[in-house]
Structure 1
Amino acid sequence: MQVEQAGAFILAKIKTELADCFHYHNADHALDVYAAAKQLAAGEGISEHDTQLLLTAAYYHDSGFLFGQADHETGSCKNARQYLPDFGYNEDEIDHVCDIIMATKIPQNPHNHLGQIICDADLDYLGRNDFFILSKRLFSELVITDHLESEQAWDKQQVKFLQNHRYFTQTALRLRDKCKNEHLTAITKRL
C-alpha cells in the first residue's frame, strides 16, 4: 500500500476539482483528519497495517464531496474503489478502508476500533484551540450549501451538536473532551 502516494493523488484531485463553496470540507480538512487519525492511532496502540488503512481512509473520507454533498461517504468509497488499486491496495484492504469511511456518516455509528478512531479524528477540532476558526469555515460553507440563515441559528445547531457528541476513544477523551466542553459553554453564553 502506497498510503502517501494515494493521499497525494486524492488531495490534488480535491484541490483542483472541488466546488469553491466547500470552505471546510476540502483538502485542508482531509489533512487535518489525517494528522488527528495518526495521533489517535498512536495513542490507541494500533498496528502499522491498520494505521495505514486508517490513514488512507482519512485522506479519502470526504472525497465524495467531489460528487456533491448528499451521501458523500458513498462517493468517497467510490473514489477509494476506483483509485486505490493503482496504489497497491487489494480488494480486502479497500473494503476495510470503505468500512472506516462509512463510520463517519452522521450520526456516527462505528462498529470497530478503527471506525471509532476515524470518527474521533473527523471531529477532533471540536476539542481544539482552533475550533472557532474551523467552525467559522463550516458556517460559511453551510450558508451556501444548506442555506443556513444566521450566526445565531448556527450557534443553536452547534450547541445541540456539541451536547450530543461523544468521543469514542480514550485518547480523544483525554486530549479533547475538556476543551470541547469549554467551547460548548462559550457558545451557550452567546445565545
Structure 2
Amino acid sequence: MQFEEATAYILNKLSSELPAHLTYHCLAHTQDVVRSARQIGVAEGIGEYDMKLLLTAAYYHDAGFLKGAAGHEEESCRMAEEALPGFGYSADDIKQVCGMIMATQIPQNPQNLLEQIIADADLDYLGRDDFFTIGNTLFDELAFFGVIKTEDEWNALQVRFLEKHHFFTYTAITSRQQKKEENLELVKQKLP
C-alpha cells in the first residue's frame, strides 16, 4: 500500500480542482478531518494498518465534491475505487475505505470502529471552540447553493442538526460532547 502517494494524489486534485464557492467542503476541511481522525484513532488504539486505511478514507471522503455536491459520498467511493488499486490497495482495503466514506453520509450510520472514528472526525468541530468560525464557512456555502437565505434559517437548521447529532466513539463523547452542548445553547440564544 503506497499510502503517501495515494494521499498526495488526492490532495493535489483537491487543492487544484475544488471550486472556490466550496467554502466549507474545501481542502482545509479535508485536512481537519484527517487531523481529527488521527487523534481519535490514536486515542481509540487502532493499529498502524487500520490507521492508514482510516486516513486514506479521510483524505478521500469529500473528493466527490470535485464532481458535485449531490451524491458526493458515492462519487468519493468511485474515485477511491478508481485510484487506489494503482497505489497497491487491495479490494478488501478499498471496501473498508468506501465503508468509512459512506459512514460520513448524513444521517450517519457507522457499522464498526473505523467508521465511527471517521464519522466523529468529520463533525469534530461541533464540539470545539472554532465551531462558529467553521460554521460560518458552511453558512456561506449553503447560502451560495440557495439552501438557506437568512441567519435565522441557518441558526434553526443548526439547532435541529445539533439536537439530532451524536458522537459514536468514547474519545469523541468524552472530549467533544460537553462543548457541543454549550455550542448548541449559544446557537439557541441567537434564535428570535
Q: Where on the TM-score scale, by shorter chain, does this alignment land: which range?
A: over 0.9
Identity over the aligned pairs, expressed in percent? 51
**Greater displacement, 117-126 / 146-155:** 146-155
Structure 2: segments with no counterpart, 5+ residues = none
TM-score after normalising by structure 1 = 0.97
Residues 116 and 168, structure 1, Cα contact 8 Å, conserved in 2: yes
Which residue does the alignment assign to 1:117? 117
Which residue does the alignment assign to 1:159? 159
**Greater displacement, 141-150 / 75-84:** 141-150
Instruction: Check if 1:136 corresponds to 2:136.
Output: yes
Which residue does the alignment assign to 1:94? 94
Aligned pairs for 1:21-60 within 5 A: 21-60=21-60
Aligned amino acid, residue 72 of structure 2: H
Which residue does the alignment assign to 1:62? 62
Aligned amino acid, residue 155 of structure 1: N
Aligned CA RMSD, in angstroms, stands at 0.9
Structure 2 distance, partners of 1:31, 1:146, is 26
Structure 1 distance, partners of 2:2, 2:108, is 28
1:150 to partner: Cα distance = 0.6
The 3-state SS of whatever aligns with 2:8 is helix
- Deviation digits for residues 106-144 of structure 1, max 9, x if unmatched? 100011111111100000000011111100000000001
Structure 2 distance, partners of 1:52, 1:33, is 14
Structure 1 distance, partners of 2:18, 2:93, is 26
1:97 to partner: Cα distance = 0.4
1:3 to partner: Cα distance = 2.0
- Deviation digits for residues 70-122 of structure 1, max 9, x if unmatched? 01000101110111122221111111100111111110001111111110000
Aligned amino acid, residue 27 of structure 2: A
Structure 1 distance, partners of 2:181, 2:51, is 28
Structure 2 distance, partners of 1:184, 1:5, is 40
Structure 2 distance, partners of 1:4, 1:127, is 30
Structure 2 distance, partners of 1:110, 1:183, is 24
TM-score after normalising by structure 2 = 0.97
Which residue does the alignment assign to 1:76? 76
The 3-state SS of whatever aligns with 2:129 is coil
Which residue does the alignment assign to 2:171? 171
Structure 2 distance, partners of 1:97, 1:73, is 11
- Paired residues in the alignment total 191
- Deviation digits for residues 23-64 of structure 1, max 9, x if unmatched? 010111111000000000011111111111100000000000
Structure 1: segments with no counterpart, 5+ residues = none
Aligned amino acid, residue 113 of structure 2: H
Aligned amino acid, residue 90 of structure 1: S
**Greater displacement, 5-14 / 115-124:** 5-14
